[in-house]
Amino acid sequence: MFFKRLTSLVGMALWAGLSLCAQDVRISYEAVGKNYLLKADNTSYYPYTIQIMFTKLTGASALSQGVPYIYVSGHGSNRLLTLKRETEEVPIGFAYQTRIYKGNWKMDSDSSYVYLPTVAPGKEVYVRTLTALEDFFRKKKPTKVTGLAFRMNEGDTVYAMRGGLVCEVCQHQASDALQKEKTKIYARTENYVVVYHKDGSFATYKQFKENGVFVKPGDKVEAGMPLGVIGAGNYRQGSHLRVQMSGCFRDSDKEYAIEGRGYHSFVPVLATDEKKTCKPYPGTVPVFTAQHPQSLIMKEMTRREKQQYLKNLKGKR
C-alpha span between 59 and 13 (Å, rounded): 46
Q: Which domain holds residue 49?
A: 25-102
Higher-pLDDT residue of 261, 157? 157
Same domain, residue pair 93 and 198: no
Number of domains in the chain: 2
Confidence of residue 14 (pLDDT cuts 50, 70, 90): very low
Same domain membership, residue 119 and residue 97: no
Instruction: State mean pLDDT over 280-290.
Output: 90
Looking at residue 117, what DSSP letter applies? P
Residue 40 within a domain: yes
**Same structural domain for residues 153 and 79?**
no
Instruction: Report how far residue 283's alpha carbon sits from residue 43's, in angstroms, rounded to the nearest whole number.
Output: 42
More confident of the two residues 287 and 258 = 287
Residues 80 and 174 in one domain: no
In a domain, 263, yes or no: yes
Quote the mean pLDDT of the chain. Answer: 86
| 91 & 133 share domain | no
**Residues 144 and 220 occupy one common structural domain:** yes
DSSP per position, 233-258: TTBTT-SEEEEEEEEEEE-TTSTT-B
Q: Which of 18-27, 67-76, 284-293 has the lowest mean pLDDT?
A: 18-27
Higher pLDDT, 233 or 279: 279
Q: How confident is the model at residue 136 (pLDDT cuts 50, 70, 90)?
A: low
Dihedral of the CA atoms 190, 196, 201, 205 (nearest 10)?
-20
Cβ-contact 90, 111 below 8 angstroms = no
Domain of 50: which CATH number?
2.60.40
Give 317's pLDDT tier (boundaries 50, 70, 90).
low
Q: Give tens-digit pLDDT for 239-276.
A: 889 999 999 998 756 666 787 888 989 999 999 998 99
Looking at 74, 102, 130, the residue that finishes a domain is 102
pLDDT, tens digit (0-9, with 9 covering 90-100), for 19-52: 445 589 999 999 999 999 999 999 999 999 999 9
Q: What is the CATH number of the domain that holds 167?
A: 2.70.70.10
Q: Which amino acid, residue 200?
A: G
* Mean local confidence (pLDDT), 205-217: 94
pLDDT of residue 51: 94
